[in-house]
Amino acid sequence: MATTVTVTGAAGQIGYALLFRIASGQLLGPDKPVHLNLLEIPQGVKAAEGTALELFDSAFPLLAGIDVYDDAHKAFEGANIALLVGARPRTKGMERADLLEANGGIFKPQGEAIAAGAADDIKVLVVGNPANTNALIAASNADGVPKERFTAMTRLDHNRAIAQLAQRTGAAVSEITNMAIWGNHSPSMYPDLFNAKVKGERAWDAVGDEDWVANEYIPRVGKRGAEIIEARGASSAASAASAAIDHVHDWVNGTPEGEWVSMAVPSTGAYGVPEGIISSFPVTTAGGEYTIVEGLDVPEFSQARIDKTVAELQEEREAVVKLGLVS
């Protein structure tokens, strides 16, 4: 039986980069057929249908079928995996509360539709920004669905952190392991070199330059999205799609022994991160479930930065509680 994968924002730029990789088998792995449900707003349906024609023309052996919807209840019916990419971008003059409210208008009904009709094993990845808090809104409005099934994407930050570290140390990307992103998918997030390794050595020691880590590396990774917009004239799309593939692939298929990945997940209270927010942690995955890696080294340098990004998530939570989007 095919796995039903619902993708929202299917006509957007991430959607265009993502759908072909899902249909080719890269999301779930070889030999796993997928049925794609594409969700768009009415103005986006025609373009999504155009993409569906191209997917059809690619004759992907693993693509069992495609449907295009502008109705969330229909799009999430029977979904095993949901990639929530469509979101309301911040427009000029928009305050954070307005942005959160506008996104509440998307993620609350989508959470309700997931609760109403998705498959029992539904797994949700929120890509649309502000991703962590949008995931919290969806989770809070999906009665009966375990909140652990709602995650947000920090894998792009994770991949950027690996790539920048590889470039600095001259190591291959494959020689960088145990990267961890903590906190919010925003410039406040914290890439952790105390637990990451370069060829098995602690990355902090391999770099040996606190000033570079504090003043170049961390801000570079945090503001990479803005750097891409400046260079490309549009926000990251293919790299975001690639990270979404990595996130779901590893959630479904498991992490290798000794390795972990970064996912924003509902806090269990680990590392003093309060429950009630969706924050990025290092996680291992097995059997379709993830577990926050406990007991890692969190020196003062890390703690101060984790506290800051977590405080930002708590403020976002307070704002959406005030708006009645999260209880």
Catalytic residues: 185
Cβ burial of 60 (10 Å; 0-12, 13-18, 19+) is middle
Nearest CA among 152, 146, 74, 139 for reference residue 104: 139
Of all residues in the shown chain, the one whose CB is closest to ligand NAI is 12
Which residues, at least 6 apart from 290, have a Cβ–Cβ distance to it below 8 Å? 148, 151, 251, 263, 265, 283, 284
Q: How many CA atoms lie within 13 A of 56 on its CB side?
A: 10
Residue 17 annotated as part of some ligand binding site: no
Amino acid at 210: E
183 near ligand NAI, rule: CB under 6 A:
no
Query: 11 or 196: whose CB is closer to ligand NAI?
Result: 11
Nearest CA among 210, 182, 178, 208 for reference residue 196: 178
CB of 130 to ligand NAI, least distance (A): 8
Site string for ligand NAI, 26-45 (x = CB under 6 A): -------------xxx--x-
- Cα→Cα distances 207→59, 166, 229, Å: 47, 10, 28
Pick the piece of the chain touching ligand NAI (CB under 6 A) from 86-94, 116-124, 175-183, 314-322. 86-94
Binder to ligand NAI among 127, 206, 252, 273 (CB under 6 A)? 127
Site string for ligand NAI, 252-291 (x = CB under 6 A): ----------------------------------------
Q: Using only C-alpha atoms, what is the Rg of the chain?
A: 19
**Dist CA 229 CA 308 (whole Å):** 25
23 neighbors 63 (Cβ within 8 angstroms): yes
Binder to ligand NAI among 34, 52, 63, 86 (CB under 6 A)? 86
191 near ligand NAI, rule: CB under 6 A:
no
Amino acid at 48: A
Residue 168 annotated as part of some ligand binding site: no
101 near ligand NAI, rule: CB under 6 A:
no
Binder to ligand NAI among 82, 99, 240, 296 (CB under 6 A)? 240
CB of 214 to ligand NAI, least distance (A): 23
Task: Pick out the residues of the known binding site for substrate.
Answer: 90, 96, 129, 160
Residues of the shown chain interacting with ligand NAI in the complex, contacts defined by CB under 6 A? 8-9, 11-15, 39-41, 44, 85-87, 89, 106, 127-129, 131, 153, 156, 185, 235-237, 240
